[in-house]
Amino acid sequence: MHLLIATSNPGKFREIREGLAPLGWTLFSLLDYPFKMPPEEGSTFEDNAVLKAAFAAKQSGLPTLADDSGLEVAALGGEPGVYSARYGNKKTDTERNVYLLERLKGVPPSERKARFVAVLVMAYPDGYMELYRGETEGEILEAPRGEWGFGYDPLFYLPEAGKTFAEMTLEEKAAYSHRGKALRQLLEAHKLGLARKEQPLQE
């Protein structure tokens, strides 16, 4: 099957491509279909993932997988949440990480609990959809650690692993991450025939 991944983020596309590799599908990203996506105005990760998947499936004529994900920090009332990619109106991952640390200044380690959430929606051109959700609990460090990953990965620490997401290989991160968990749900559904059967490509 040909599947469009509704992202232009290379790191996110790489994680999804690795996660879906067992299915043997041919994947494309928005770099292959450079149409303008609608603004993410939903109040939940589910809202935004549905919006992106449905729009891109209609525009491309391909089954489309969209991810909406983000970080929820308990001490900040769940911020940045759905605004993770544009937190504080900052333009880069580094700026957003610095802004998050500023917001948490003075908060002790015991109160820096956070979770990553990922919602995957697979939309077909005829409007049919599948939804998968994964969550990972951790905490926010007082300084970044690690050179890999993207987004808030250098600050998100998993006590059970003794590492931040940015200190993990792609394989390690997939085993723990919110997106990895959601992708495994999708894989299981399609391998077991619980999801929709593969659809013919539209002409």
Q: Is 153 annotated as a binding residue?
A: yes
The answer to whether position 74 is within a domain reads yes
Q: Is 15 helix (H, G, I), strand (E, B) or coil?
A: helix
Q: Is position 68 annotated as part of the catalytic site?
A: yes
Domain of residue 130, CATH code: 3.90.950.10
Check residue 11 and give its pLDDT. 85
Which one from 32, 68, 93, 126 is the annotated catalytic residue? Answer: 68
Can you tell me the distance from the alpha carbon of 107 to that of 101, in angstroms, rounded to the nearest whole number?
Answer: 10
The DSSP letter of residue 199 is P
- The pLDDT of residue 193 is above 90: no
- The pLDDT of residue 198 is above 70: no
The DSSP letter of residue 195 is S
**Structure tokens given for 72:** 């929820």
Domain with 27 in it:
2-191
Can you tell me the distance from the alpha carbon of 111 to that of 122, in angstroms, rounded to the nearest whole number?
Answer: 36
Instruction: State pLDDT tens for residues 10-36.
Output: 888 998 999 999 999 999 999 999 899
The answer to whether position 143 is within a domain reads yes
Name which of 158, 163, 162 is nearest 146 in CA terms.
Answer: 163
Check residue 141 and give its pLDDT. 98
Q: Is 178 annotated as a binding residue?
A: yes
* Full-model pTM: 0.89
Q: Is 39 annotated as a binding residue?
A: no
Residue 161 pairs in a beta bridge with none
- Band of pLDDT at residue 53, cut at 50, 70 and 90: very high
Instruction: State pLDDT tens for residues 144-169.
Output: 999 998 999 999 999 999 999 999 99
Q: Is 111 helix (H, G, I), strand (E, B) or coil?
A: helix
**Structure tokens given for 7:** 């992202």
Can you tell me the distance from the alpha carbon of 13 to that of 92, in angstroms, rounded to the nearest whole number?
Answer: 18
Q: How many domains does the chain have?
A: 1
Can you tell me the distance from the alpha carbon of 43 to that of 57, in angstroms, rounded to the nearest whole number?
Answer: 21
